[in-house]
Amino acid sequence: MPEIVFLSDDVVGPRMAGPGIRAWELAKVLARRFAVTLAAPENSPGEEAEAFFGSAPLDLFFYSPNRPAEVTKLAQSARLLVVQGYVLSKFPALKSLPLPIAADIYDPFVLENLFIHQRKIARLPDRAGVHLRDLRVWNDLLLRGDHFLVASDRQQDLVTGGLLSLNRIGPEALDAGDDLGHLLSVVPFGISAEDGPADPAEFRRAFPSVADRDILLLWGGVLSDWFDPLTLLRAFKTAWQAEPRLKLLFLSTGHPNPVVPAWEMAREARSLAAELGLEGGSVFFHDGWVEYLRRAVFFRRADIGVSIHRTHFETRSAFRTRMLDYIKHGLPILCTEGDTFAELVERERLGRVVGSGDEAGLGRAIVELAADEPGRKEMKARLLAARERFLWEKTAAPLVRWCEKVLAGELRPISRPGREEVVQACAGNGESRVREGLRRMARPLVQKLPLRTRARLARLLKK
């Protein structure tokens, strides 16, 4: 029987994106100390799944939203749940189980989806309706969870604000610990100590146009709609004209989860690369998704890791998981200002940070980084030193401690507010509006009363 059931909201297997990787790696760390079952969507396994899962130190369960009773039964067998994303909305029966729940919200989907829907849904009322649905899912997590996992101090600020607004932070939470450590843990995305095989010949077979002497820039993740590969492509063309050895590879144009729709930005990037005359000669798009244990083939060949985004309110709370692969493989990082990793890159001199939308500055940074081979070697040494603090065993430590305390009976969950308390906390001046409405309704009736009676009534209401 499992002590902990970890419910991933994304596919887990040979090909997986950030949320699936995070579920897989955190569950493996927990499994070193507890009996763990990792539950993932049933469309997770691929042809190579048996080999991939074969050495896992945990049990696996593949679920379907169409069979919710199976998920409830699995959860009832555990003593503690860890959930992600939309899991509680897909399986609402989990919310009523008398189990402590840790909610992993390192991916602030309610912010990301605003940008996705802006490009995919034409009518503003339709977008508003979808956003309200996302917001209900987000608030439901904040109301039901007993502990919350975030990836950075900035995300902690975001979640703390939500918890405070929903009355999850109050006198009882303060008495339980004024640092709120019982309620929130900063658990950054991590780096796996081991690595898969990385045969250089495999890369050469996949991209024969990239010569050994070429300087390869690698975009190591998806082309989501909040990123800005278009500015990168324009800047890259200018840089490439100055240094013809430059090459740029986008590692994936899609997503390993088949239910995730195609990114509009990926289509636009490919179209612009063709328009600029770059695609196939100096810019390449890798279609499909690289297997988790084979991605080192690409990162070891690269010379510079890039991540360019538009700076907006999603940026502050973002945690770009591709940056961990850049750090792991010692790739100098070229990125946009505004997020957590940009601060790290600038503070520890791990690469170059450019302004949002600064095409000229980005072009200069590409040329300067490409030309400065000794400087890149120094950055690589600093990156490999920084790597140690992001190993999964270290980043997951706060979650492990919380689980230990809960399972040992040392932590009592903070009571969650009821519906009336939440409404009262969020109603604003609703009570005064009701009073004003009643006053307007009563005014014609009162005016018909004798003056003496009206005066007495006014005195009574004042009291």
Q: Can you tell me whether residue 230 is helix, strand or coil?
A: helix
Query: Across 26-30, 176-180, 306-310, which has the greatest mean pLDDT?
Result: 26-30
Tokens of 113: 């989806």
Q: Which residues contact 452 (CB under 8 A, 6 or more apart)?
A: none
Q: Above 60 in pLDDT, residue 238?
A: yes
Say whether pLDDT at 314 is over 70.
Answer: yes
Residue 153 in this model has a pLDDT that exceeds 60: yes
How high is the pLDDT of residue 81?
A: 97
Of 38 and 49, the one with more pLDDT: 38
For residue 261, is pLDDT > 70?
A: no
For position 206, what pLDDT does the model report? 85
**Rounded to an integer, what distance in angstroms lies between the CA atom of residue 44 and that of residue 63?**
10
For each of the domains in the chain, give its residue range(s) and CATH number, in order of start.
Answer: 4-190+393-419 (3.40.50.2000), 200-390 (3.40.50.2000), 435-462 (no CATH)
Q: Beta strands 333-336 and 351-354: pairing type?
A: parallel
Predicted local confidence at residue 148, as pLDDT: 96
190-204, 272-286, 384-398: lowest mean pLDDT where? 190-204
Residue 330 CA to residue 334 CA, distance in Å, equals 13
- Look up residue 191 and give its amino acid: I
Q: What is the pLDDT of residue 437?
A: 55
Closest CA to 225 of 337, 120, 321, 334: 120
Confidence band (pLDDT; 50, 70, 90) for 438? low
Tens digit of each residue's pLDDT (9 = 90 or more) over 289-301: 888 888 888 999 9
pLDDT at 78 over 70: yes
Say which amino acid occupies 455.
A
| Residue 210, CB-side half-sphere exposure with 13 Å CA sphere | 24
List of residues 6+ apart from 335 with CB closer than 8 A: 306, 307, 308, 320, 323, 341, 342, 345, 351, 352, 353, 354
| pLDDT of 439 | 64
User: Hey, which residues does 324 pair with through a beta bridge?
Assistant: none
Please tell me the distance from the alpha carbon of residue 322 to that of residue 48, in angstroms, as a whole number: 23
| Average pLDDT taken over every residue of the chain | 88
Task: Map tokens 């309706």 to a residue.
Answer: 129
Residue type, 61: F
Residue 369 and residue 316: Cα distance in Å, rounded?
26
Tokens of 41: 């969507």
pLDDT of 107: 87
pLDDT value for 440: 67
Q: How far apart are CA 252 and CA 47, in angstroms?
A: 20
pLDDT level of residue 435 (50, 70, 90 thresholds):
low
pLDDT, average across residues 129-153: 93
- The Cα 306–Cα 336 span in angstroms is 9
Q: Report pLDDT for 405.
A: 94
Mean pLDDT of the region 197-203: 77
State the average pLDDT over residues 140-158.
93
- pTM comes to 0.86
Tell me the C-alpha distance between 82 and 4, whole Å.
7
pLDDT at residue number 299: 92
d(CA 326, CA 91): 36
The pLDDT tens digits of the residues spanning 352-404 come to: 999 999 999 999 999 999 999 999 999 999 999 999 999 999 999 999 999 99
Identify which has the larger pLDDT, 13 or 362.
Answer: 362
The proportion of the chain whose per-residue pLDDT surpasses 70, expressed as a percent, equals 92
| Coil, strand or helix at 20 | helix
Angle ∠(306,312,318) on CA atoms, nearest 5: 60
CA 407, distance to chain mean position in Å, is 27
Is pLDDT of 430 > 60?
no
CA angle, 170 as apex, 164 and 174 as ends, to 5°? 115
